[in-house]
Amino acid sequence: MLSEIREKAAPLMEPVARAFARAGFSPNSLTLIGLFIGSVAALLFAKGEPRWAGLTLLICGVFDVIDGAVARLTGRETAFGGVLDAVIDRYVDFAIFIGIMYSSLEELWWRLPSWAWCTLALTGSFMVSYTRARAEAAGSGKLDVGIAERGERLLILAFGGLLNYTHVAVALVAILAHATAIHRLIVTRYRLR
């Protein structure tokens, strides 16, 4: 969903990307800055500061968009850069959910402890990415379908933190991520027939 908006908003990001490129930032350095900011968001969740964590997560999301924009603008798109970006995204996802688990958001919600919700959300998040990678490697073509791609999941967690409803955001991510992974499997089956 957001991937379509991102493509349409690319011209709006160009001045920001140009400023980062002029300042000498490489796409890979911006990816690593995103890792640092995502880790700060995870620590803020862990310390029980969900509003600050949500705000920091929004900033992390900006860097997640800017690194690719700078790569395209400067002609520095590389296969390694794409792999690095994907790996760093997984590390940030992992850190965020560990931070939320550590803060113990709510003891029980819908009769499941917080660690169970975070584990479901983390597993679903990884399966969304894994399903896409495997399907594309098998020849499905670009598989950016589903309602909970990474951008959507980050926004849900960020706004959940900002509104002090982290437990609701985690449950929503858990449900939507698994729905997206299943949706991708269905689309892959159709495409690979």
How would you write the pLDDT of the chain (193 residues) with one tens digit per residue?
666 666 666 677 788 889 999 999 999 999 999 999 999 999 999 999 999 999 999 999 999 889 989 999 899 999 999 999 999 999 999 999 999 998 876 555 667 788 888 999 999 999 999 999 999 999 999 998 999 999 999 999 999 999 999 989 999 999 999 999 999 999 999 999 8
The CA-atom distances, in angstroms, between 8 and each of 3, 5, 12, 70, 153 are 9, 5, 9, 16, 20
Classify domain 2-191 by CATH number.
Answer: 1.20.120.1760
Compute CA 89 distance to the chain's CA centroid, rounded to the nearest angstrom. 6
Q: Count CA within 13 A, CB hemisphere, residue 157.
A: 38
Is residue 89 flagged as an active site residue? yes
> Cα–Cα distance between 133 and 130 in angstroms, integer?
5
Q: Which of 67, 89, 93, 144 is catalytic?
A: 89
Provide the whole-model pTM. Answer: 0.89
